[in-house]
Amino acid sequence: MCRTGAKGHETLGELLSQSDPDAVVLCTPSGLHPQQAIMAAQEGRHVITEKPMATRWSDGTRMVEACDSAGVRLFVVKQNRHNATLQVLKKAVEDRRFGRIYMVNLNVFWTRPQEYYDSAGWRGTWEFDGGAFMNQASHYVDLLEWLIGPVECVHSFTATQGRDIEVEDSGVLNIRWRNGTLGSMAVTMLTYPKNLEGSITILGEKGTVRVGGVAVNEIQHWEFDEPKPEDEQITRVNYETRSVYGFGHPAYYDNVIATLRGEAKPLTDGREGLKSLELLIATYLSARDGRQVALPLEY
């Protein structure tokens, strides 16, 4: 019995047969999400899965198809979208304050020591975890599509430079969006001695913004050709972070509950989750094959 009073179960099958949940939340190793999501959907349960929704493109699409067939909802957690700093950045993009966006850069300079990967057998594996892009930087990959729009193609390099793991601990990614924007992303889990930066910089014809800090929690530069009164107080949305995960989970679950009650539309359903999974898979295909990869992966 846990501190909430909820009964524990040894398997998902046991949980589904011995309880009556409205939804099942998957916080398990990523490679287990597809099988577990499909099992829950077939039992008529809505599914909420943490990132990444899957480690294979085909598994992600199977999850969406299974939930569609069962008539249940599939939600993919993207809590960073609810962080105050990114909310104001999203609004600036939607209000076209940047004009034409020329360039976008993201950095994720964090550290994960060997002890982190050694703490569980699934960590650092292709089958159940994925590497620096797939696991640690997944929410930053999500920003590429959510903020800027559909991606046309990617070209990447990845490497395992400092950790004894199957997957990459570092990588770089070049991006071209369909709207002509160019961009890049640099990710490493080898920063000494601790997490240093999680940032996004947008350069446009009429504005420049940098959101930095350890986890995009500080607006460090905010400048547009047509200032607005609220710009003077823009740094009020900055927040101290004790965790790289931010504080977006409560708002995310508010939307899930409102959606299940029929009071709202899902902000990140399964199809929305597939967008960042597609970018992740394209990144790995490019690094593996040494070529530029065009999107979409399927037609």
How is the chain classified by DSSP, letter by letter? --TT-PPP-SSHHHHHHH---SEEEE-S-GGGHHHHHHHHHHTT-EEEEPSSS-SSHHHHHHHHHHHHHHT--EEE--GGGGSHHHHHHHHHHHTTTTSSEEEEEEEEE-B--HHHHHTSTTTT-TTTT--IIIIITHHHHHHIIIII--EEEEEEEEE--SS-SSS-SEEEEEEEETTS-EEEEEEESB-SSS--EEEEEEEESSEEEEEETTTT-EEEEEEESS--GGGGGGGGG----SSTTTT-HHHHHHHHHHHHTTSS--SSBHHHHHHHHHHHHHHHHHHHHTS-EES-S--
For all residues of the chain together, what is the average pLDDT? 96
120 pLDDT more than 80:
yes
115 pLDDT more than 60:
yes
Q: Which residues contact 199 (CB under 8 A, 6 or more apart)?
A: 105, 106, 107, 210, 211, 212, 213, 216, 220
31: nearest Cα among 7, 52, 62 = 52
- Region 238-242 average pLDDT: 85
pLDDT value, residue 244: 73
245 pLDDT more than 80:
no
pTM score: 0.95
299 pLDDT more than 70:
no
User: How many CB atoms within 10 Å of residue 70?
Assistant: 18
pLDDT value, residue 4: 82
246 pLDDT more than 80:
no
1 pLDDT more than 60:
no
The band of 2, judged by pLDDT with boundaries at 50, 70 and 90, is low
261 pLDDT more than 80:
yes
Give me the percent of the chain exceeding a pLDDT of 70. Answer: 99
- Region 65-84 average pLDDT: 96
pLDDT digits (tens, 9 = 90+) for 143-188: 999 999 999 999 999 999 999 999 999 999 999 999 999 999 999 9
